[in-house]
Structure formats: structure tokens, C-alpha cells
Chains A and B, each alone.
Chain A
Amino acid sequence: MNMRLSYGMGFILLFVPCSLLVAFTHYPAFKALLNSFWNNGSSIRPSRFVGARNYEALLEDDKLMQVLSNSFIYAIGTVPLAIALAIGMALLVNSRLPATGLMRLSFFLPTMLPMVAVANIWLFFYAPGIGLASQILNAFGLPSINFLGSTDTSLVSMMVVAVWKEAGLFMIFYLAALQSIPTNLKDAARLEGAGSVRIFFDVVMPLLRPTTIFVAVNALINAFRLVDHIVVMTRGGPNNSSSLLLYYIYEVTFGFRDFAYGATLTVLMVVILGFMAAIQFWVLNRKAHYQ
């Protein structure tokens, strides 16, 4: 049906946008792969081909192992918690309680704030002594905790910040899904004698599944590519206890000026994201079989 794209028209429509896309997405990904086989050059010594040397360093890098385990704990901890809270919030906001507008504002506001602002707000909230967190602990007669300064609590503290920022956005998607559920389904279940809890798990939850998959995929990718709060609040510390993979790439490249190793870590990041995309594909295909 469609007409053939002439060369002239194709050039006008596609050339500029596609060159930009290639220059800043495909080219850098490919270049990272190339550079990961070379070492760092300097003005005196040009960079040399070193084979898999950078990848050997990768395997022996204890700090990287900690960063990777942090990243996975962070992703596995924040994504389900944010989703569960988002579903709860959507149910509350969608209910016939008074002041739902105010609740929605409270839940959604963190999403509107830049991560840098969120980080400042929480930096203050966590501040030992003066912060609200320690004041609340003190009010209950508990000793204050140095949330960001201790290796035991720093990662968990960053996870709380991420959940606080993201849950409100996911709530919006669930709100949309809840409002599209036909009420006659719930009425039918109620006539059959099902209570609210049963209706939620047997009627509402299955209908929320597509939303959950969509949100989970986005949340998982975000968990790997948003590290603004780490930069502002802990700089990965103390002792790398709160460092995530992208923050480590940033630190290696722009802190230690090791561009070759930064490129190698970028390749690792792309591989991890590609792996997640493959799993996502597989899950979505399986879901299609059910329907």
C-alpha cells in the first residue's frame, strides 16, 4: 500500500536523525568495545593493543565484584518494593477515602523532583544529629545511626531514597490500570460472595499483570542507569559500600582518568543490559502463550 521512499525524500527524512543516533549510540558502544582492547595512551606513549588484558583486570578487580553485588542487591531490593508500594498507593488513591488528592500529591511529588534535589533533601534527613531520622530515633530513646557513614547502612539508605523517588511514578501507571478495570467484574465476584481481599488477588491482580511487567522492566533499567544520588550523597562510600556499576564507571573514567578501563566497564554494562533485555523478551513471549 505504502509508496516507495525515493532517495531524495529518504535522505531528508532520515539522514540527520539517524546520523545523530548512530554517532551517540551505536558508534560509542562499538568504540567502547574497540577501546577495551587497548591501554591508555599519553602524550609520550601512544596507546597500545593489549588484547584481553583489560578483561583480565576486570576479573581480578575485587572492588568491581563488590560494586556488582551492590548493584544487584540494589536492583533486587528496590524494584519489588517500589512496585508493591506503588500498587498500595494506587489502591489508596483510587479508594473513596477523603483527601485522596492530597495523598496523590504526597506520593507523586518526589517523582517530579530532580534526583539531585531528592538527594539533598535526604542528605539532610539522614544527617547525624540534626536530621529528622536521628531526631525520631532519639525521641524513642534509641541512639542515632550514621546512615550514610557506615558500611552496614549506606546501601540500604540509598535504596530507600530510590524507592521514595520512584514509587509515585509507578503509582500513576497502576492508577491508570485500576481505572480501566470494568466494575462489573468486581460486582460479579462480590455477588459470588468474594471478599475484598479475594477480589484483589483473584480479579484485580491478574488484570494488573501487563502494567507490572512494563513497570518492572523500566524500574530494572533505571536501577542501573540512575546514580545521581550516589554522586551527591555518598560518592560510593564508605569503602565502596554504596557504589553502583554506573557510578564506578564514572569514578574510574573521570576520577582516575582510566578511559581504557572505563570502556571495558561500559562493555560489561551493555552486556548486562542486553542480558536483561533478552530475559524480558523471553518473559513477554511466555506471557503471549498464556493468552
Chain B
Amino acid sequence: MSDGLNRIAFATVAFVLAAVWGLPFLYSVWTAFHPEKYSANFVWNAPLTLSNFTEAWQAAPFALYFLNTVILIVTVLVANLILCTLVAYAFVRYRFRWAGFLFSLVMVQLLISPEILIVENYLTLSTIGLTDTIIGIALPYLTSAFGIFLLRQTFLTVPKSLDEAAQMEGAGAWRILWTVYVPLARPVYLAYGLVSISFHWNNFLWPLIVTNSPEVRPVTVGLSVFATVESGIEWSLVNAATLMTTAPLIIAFLIFQRQFVANFMRAGIK
């Protein structure tokens, strides 16, 4: 009897918490899909509309912002995958002087990340004339201590006998990397890729500082500019723009929910 009551109480807490958690987002969805005059006025048969989305899309160059974000993400991801693989391979497969010291130097970036070095990194970028460029946004993130750490941990689990067998067959260092180490680390590459994509899709402060012109703005900066300057106080447009810019991530999440969750867990635990 009391077990049943417990269960009901537990379920109530669960549903209330989940509902409260969903409220801010649902409210934003409501406003984005209804005409301005229903934005704070809940009428069940209020007419639905997509005009907020079309109006927001036309009011700012969102297509361009999306393109910039995609270029940024691809640049960072490709550079990360290649560079982190090289460094991890060197640490795992070779011995050299100062290896331990070098590894701890790399790990410093986990703590002192580019986010807090905005002042000096901005000065560096303006010295080399790369402010207001997409490559300028990407530069501090091209190597990632997190990626190096993750791949090193994974490469360490590759059995030495596999490596030695490949050597016997006459395979060189590059062939061994490509045919032994990389295939065995595939799930980790996937996990890292997802984390990296969502991080750089969401990154805001550094791109805000580096960019000045719409031609290079990523979507997050574009959204904040749109929400403050161009639309004034029209909430339905701001909400539509907010949902529009996050839609690709939300849709991707809904499709790949299980893999996403599994990969986030993997990335966190290793």
C-alpha cells in the first residue's frame, strides 16, 4: 500500500520537474508559432503561423551565418582530428626526451583554455591581421588538449602485439597509424566529433570579439546581433530566430538521441 503511494508521489515529482524544466522552451515555441498578439495570451484555438520564421529569415542574413558556422566547425574538426591524432600517436608509440614534460604542457590547455585568454589572443590576431576572419575564430582551437588526451587514452589500449605484427609485415609508421590505431579508435573519433561540433556551434564570446562584419559572423553572434539591434522588442521574431538557429541541433538530437547520449557518456568517462 505505502509502496503504491510512494510510487505515485515519485511519479508526481518526476512529471512536475520535467514539466517545469520544459516550460521556458515551450513558451518560446508557443510565441514563435503564433502571431504577435497571442505571444503572451494563451488561447487554445489561437491561429498557428510560420510568418515569424519567414520574417526573421529575411530580416538578417541567417543563411550566410549558417554557412559561416559550418565552415568554422568543419575547419576546427578536420584540424583537430588530424593534429590530435599525430600528437597522441607520438606520445603512445614513441619514447623521447621530455615526453612527460611535454604532455603536461599540453594538458595545461584543459585548465587555461582559450575562453579565458581572450585579451592576449585578440592582440595576437590583430598583430597577424586575422581579426574578422573565420580562420581567426578557429586558430586558438585547432589543437585541443581534450582531443589529445582522449585519443592517447584510446591508443594506449591498442594491443602492442597488433602493432608488432604489422611491423613484421613490413608496414611503416604511417601505415600502422592508418590501419591499426585509427580504426580501433573509431567510436572515440565519433564521440569527440559530436562534442566538438556542439561546442563550436554554441561558442559565442570569442567569435563575438573577433568578428565585426556580417560576412564572417557565425550563427550565435548573428542571433545575438539580431536579437538586440535589428528587431527591437518584437518577441515573436526573436523567438522564431532563436528556434531557427538551434533547429539543426535539436533535429539532429531527436534523430540521434541514443547515440548522442551514449557518446556524451563515453566522452565524459574516459
Query: CB distance B238 to A97 under 8 Å?
Result: no
Majority secondary structure of chain A interface residues (helix, strand, loop or mixed): helix
Chain B neighbourhood of A225, CB < 8 A: 113, 115-116
Query: CB distance B24 to A253 under 8 Å?
Result: no
Query: CB distance A250 to B118 under 8 Å?
Result: yes
Q: Is B186 an interface residue (CB 8 A)?
A: no
Name the contact of B24 in the complex, choosing from A29, A132, A175, A250 (C-beta under 8 A). A132
Majority secondary structure of chain B interface residues (helix, strand, loop or mixed): helix
Query: CB distance A9 to B173 under 8 Å?
Result: yes
Query: CB distance B111 to A273 under 8 Å?
Result: yes
Q: Which A residue sits closest to B239, measured CB to CB?
A: A124
A-B pairs with CB below 8 Å: how many? Answer: 253
CA distance A26 to B121 in the complex (A): 11
Chain A neighbourhood of B25, CB < 8 A: 109-110, 113, 121
Query: CB distance A32 to B220 under 8 Å?
Result: no
Q: Is A44 an interface residue (CB 8 A)?
A: no
Chain A neighbourhood of B249, CB < 8 A: 112-114
Please encode chain A, from 48 to 87, with 1 for each CB lying within 8 Å of some chain B CB and 0 for all others. Answer: 0000000000000000000000000000000000000000
Query: CB distance A20 to B39 under 8 Å?
Result: no
CA distance A95 to B12 in the complex (A): 13
Q: How many residues on chain A are close to B (CB under 8 Å)?
A: 90
Chain A neighbourhood of B124, CB < 8 A: 23-24, 27-28
Query: CB distance B227 to A232 under 8 Å?
Result: yes
Please tell me the size bucket of the interface on B.
35 or more
Chain B neighbourhood of A123, CB < 8 A: 227
Query: CB distance B10 to A95 under 8 Å?
Result: yes
Known: A225-B115, A266-B120. A124 touches B235 (CB 8 A): yes
Name the contact of A246 in the complex, choosing from B105, B116, B122, B235 (C-beta under 8 A). B116
CA distance A7 to B13 in the complex (A): 62
CA distance A105 to B25 in the complex (A): 12
CA distance A103 to B94 in the complex (A): 48
Query: CB distance B108 to A26 under 8 Å?
Result: yes
Known: A20-B142, A114-B220, A117-B246. A106 touches B27 (CB 8 A): no
CA distance A130 to B131 in the complex (A): 39
Name 17 A/B residue pairs within 8 A (Cβ), A-sorted: A3-B93, A13-B86, A13-B89, A16-B83, A17-B84, A20-B142, A24-B139, A27-B124, A29-B117, A105-B254, A116-B220, A117-B223, A117-B243, A120-B223, A225-B113, A231-B204, A231-B205
Footprint of B on A, CB under 8 Å? 1-5, 9-10, 12-14, 16-18, 20-29, 31-32, 35, 88-89, 92, 95, 97-99, 102-110, 112-117, 120-125, 127, 129-132, 135, 164, 169, 172-173, 175-176, 196, 214, 221, 224-228, 231-232, 246, 249-250, 253-254, 259, 262-263, 266, 269-270, 273-274, 277
